[in-house]
Amino acid sequence: MKCTICERGCTIPEGNTGACGRYKNNGEKIIELFPDKYLTICPISIETMPVLHFHPRGKFLQISTTGCNLNCQGCFSTVIAREMVHTSKALRELSPQQVLDEAVKNDCIGIAFLLNDPLASFPTFLKVAATAKKSGLLVGCSSNAYFTETSLAEISRFLDFINVGVKGLSPRAYQNCGGSTVEPVLRNIKQLHENGVHVEVSCILQNNNMEEVLELAGRIANISPEIPLQLMRYIPLEGADPALEPSIREAESLYHRLRKYLNYVYLFNSPGTDYLHTFCPNCGEVIFKRDFYGPMGAKLLFSESGSTRKNVCPQCGWTIPIKALPAEIKYQEEDFQGGYPFTRALEMVEAILITIGVTDIKKVVQVWEDMLSHNGLPQLHRGIQNIDSYFEIINYFGRLIQMEDQAAELVAYMQEKISLINTSLPHVQKRPRVYYAMGKPPFCLMGKRFENQLVEAAGGFSINKEIEYSGRPGMKISVEQLNDLNPEVIFISAFLSSYVEDFYAECCKTGINVAAVKNKRIYTHPAPGWDFGSPRWILGLMHIANMLHPGIYHFDVWTEAKRFYKQFYGVDFSPAEVNRSFSKPSNKWKWRNN
C-alpha cells in the first residue's frame, strides 16, 4: 500500500511502517501510529517561527510532536525529529479540543505547528486545524512542504499561513534528505499562494549553494516577488561539515544580489545584521525594524526611530503586503520557549550527558523525560548561567542515570582548572573591561548570560552587565553606546561567531573606535562550544584567562582540549571536525548503543 502523505511515496507492506516511522499499513489503510501526542505546547510570538509578514507580534499556540518525513544533515531539530522516542512519557496526549482550549486559555489568535514537520503527524494536524478553524482561530505551520497533491488539498483548506523550508534546487539537496527533487515543493508553493495562503519561504545558505539560492529567488519571483524569502545562514550541527558555514559577511553580500529578484529578503542566524529589517522596495526606507532573537528567530521593534505600526512607507507611500498590522502588545516567551530555544535546551542536557560518558540515547531520553515531566526548563535555564549551579546540574544528571562517578570525574577536572585560575587571581592588578558580542559588533550578549560569568571568573570586568536588556540572547546596541562603554577587550561568541578579521573590519567601517579595536584585542575561541551550552566551556575559560592576562596565565589550551576529548569523549580532538553543535563533540561522533 502506498502512503500518499508526502512525496517520498513509501510503499508499505502490511504490518510495516514507512521511512519516517510514523505511519503503518494495518492491512486496510495507512494509519498514524502516534496520534495526538505533543512534546511542546506553549504560546509564542509568530516571528519566532519565523513568520514576518503575517500578523506581526501575533500570539500563537506552538504545537510540536516528534519525528519528520525527511532526514536532513545538520538539522536544527534532530533532538525531537530523530532522538526523542515517540512513546516517551514526556509527550502529552491531548484531543483537538484540548489543544484549542489551551490556545483560548492563553489568549492566542491561532495555532502554529513547528519544530518538527506536520507531515510526520498529518492526521493529528488536520484534526487540530479543522477544530481551530471552526472556532475562528488562525492556523499555520512550518514545513518542508513535501506534500503530495492529495495531502496539500486536504490541509490547504485550513491553512492561513505557512513557512516553507526549501532544501535547495539540486536533486542532491533532496536526495541527501531522503527525497528526490525540489519540484513538488515549488509546485506546492505556487498552489498555496494561488489558494490565498500566506506563504513565506526559508532556505539554508551554505557556502557551496549560493548560486542555487539565487536561482531559487528567481523561481519564487516567478510566482510572486512579494513572497518573503528568509535566508538562513547555515549553522552546522550534528554530523554536518563545519566547512560549509558561510560567514555573516558572505551572507550579507548575497543578500544584496537576492534583492534584485524579490522585494523582501531577510537574513537570519546573523546577530547584529540590519537585514532582518523590512526595507521599502521602492525607496529603501526602513519600515519595520527587527532584532535577532536566537537561531531562526526575530523580534519586531517599535522603540527605535524608523519603526512604525503601519505598513505604508512614510517616505514614498509604498504599501507593504503584511496581513494585519502589528499587535500593540508584545508577547515575551518564557525561558527556552518560542521556536528553537527549546531544542537548544535539550541539546544542552545531551551535551552534559555525553561528556560524562553516555553513549546510549535511551539514557538521554530518560533525563529529558524527567526534566520535561517536572517543568524543569526554568530551573535548567537558571542553572546553566552560573558555574557552581552548572556543577550541581552535572551531579544531578549523574545521580539520575546512576553515573555518579563519571559526573564527579568531570566536575573534578573542571574545578581543578578553576582552582588554578583562582590561585593567581590575587596577582591581577587590573581587571580589563570586556565586551562580549555575538556575530557582528553591535550585538551585545545579555549581562546575566554564562559567557559573561566566564569573563569575570577569568579576571575580567564584564561591561555587558552595565546594559539594560530586552532581547534574547541579547540585543543590538548603537555604535555610540558601544564607544561610550569603551571595552579594552572584546570576545566573540563561539556559537554564532564571526571571523576576527571581519569583526575588526566592521568596527572600522561603522566607526567603533574603542580601546579593544585600537589595540586589536579582539578574540574568538579556538573551537565552537567553548563558552556556552557544553561542559567544553572549561576550555574556553582557560582561553579567556590567557587572553585577558597573558603575563599570568599560560594554559596550553590545545593540549588541554586533546586531554579533555580523550578523557571524556574517548576520541581525539580534531578542530576541523568540531561544528556548532552544543551536544555532539564532533561531526563524526555517533551513538554507540541505539
Residue (of 507, 472, 568, 77) closest to 249 by Cα position:
507
177 Cβ contact list (under 8 Å, min separation 6): 70, 71, 72, 73, 144, 167
At 135 the pLDDT is: 96
Report yes or no: 460 and 432 within 8 Å, Cβ to Cβ: yes
pLDDT at residue 8 tops 50 = yes
Residue (of 69, 49, 438) closest to 228 by Cα position:
49
Are 292 and 350 members of one domain? no
> In the chain, pLDDT over 70 holds for what percent of residues?
98
How many C-beta neighbours within 10 Å does residue 356 have?
23
**How remote is the C-alpha of 109 from its chain's centroid?**
24
Distance CA(160)–CA(319), nearest Å, equals 21
The mean of the pLDDT values for the chain is 94
Residue (of 320, 199, 288, 209) closest to 254 by Cα position:
209
Q: What is the mean pLDDT of residues 37-47?
A: 94
Strand, helix or coil at 211?
helix
| Cell triple for 558 | 590545545
pLDDT confidence band for 306 (50 / 70 / 90): very low
Q: What is the mean pLDDT of residues 271-294?
A: 95
| Cell triple for 315 | 517616505
Q: State which residues form the domain around 112.
A: 35-301
At 581 the pLDDT is: 92
Q: Would residue 582 count as lying in a domain?
A: no
Domain finish residue from 425, 442, 465: 425
**52 φ/ψ angles, rounded to the nearest 5 degrees:** -110, -25
Are 227 and 346 members of one domain? no
Beta strands (DSSP E) in 194-257 are 198-205, 229-233
pLDDT at residue 516 tops 90 = yes
pLDDT at residue 326 tops 70 = yes
Are 166 and 262 members of one domain? yes
Residue (of 494, 409, 421) closest to 457 by Cα position:
421
Condensed to tens digits (0 to 9), the pLDDT of residues 56-114 reads: 999 999 999 999 999 988 787 888 878 888 888 889 999 999 999 999 999 999 999 99
Report yes or no: 293 and 45 within 8 Å, Cβ to Cβ: no
Q: How many domains does the chain have?
A: 3
Are 111 and 240 members of one domain? yes
CATH number of the structural domain spanning residue 156: 3.20.20.70
Are 166 and 210 members of one domain? yes
Q: Would residue 402 count as lying in a domain?
A: yes
Report yes or no: 324 and 58 within 8 Å, Cβ to Cβ: yes
Condensed to tens digits (0 to 9), the pLDDT of residues 453-502 reads: 999 999 999 999 999 877 789 999 999 999 999 999 999 999 998 999 99
Q: Would residue 569 count as lying in a domain?
A: no
55 Cβ contact list (under 8 Å, min separation 6): 46, 109, 110, 138, 323, 324, 327
At 593 the pLDDT is: 64
Paired with 86 in beta bridges are none
Distance CA(511)–CA(491), nearest Å, equals 18
At 305 the pLDDT is: 39
pLDDT at residue 594 tops 80 = no
At 468 the pLDDT is: 86
Q: Would residue 581 count as lying in a domain?
A: no
At 78 the pLDDT is: 84
pLDDT at residue 304 tops 60 = no
Question: What sign does the CA torsion over 350, 353, 358, 363 have?
Answer: negative
Are 62 and 117 members of one domain? yes
Are 452 and 387 members of one domain? no
Are 373 and 445 members of one domain? no
CATH number of the structural domain spanning residue 512: 3.40.50.1980
Q: Is beta strand 59-64 parallel, antiparallel or unpaired with respect to 110-113? A: parallel
Report yes or no: 160 and 198 within 8 Å, Cβ to Cβ: yes
Are 282 and 383 members of one domain? no
| Cell triple for 462 | 564584564
Are 200 and 188 members of one domain? yes
More confident: 83 or 583: 583
At 308 the pLDDT is: 55
Domain finish residue from 301, 331, 360: 301
Are 390 and 434 members of one domain? no
Are 83 and 130 members of one domain? yes
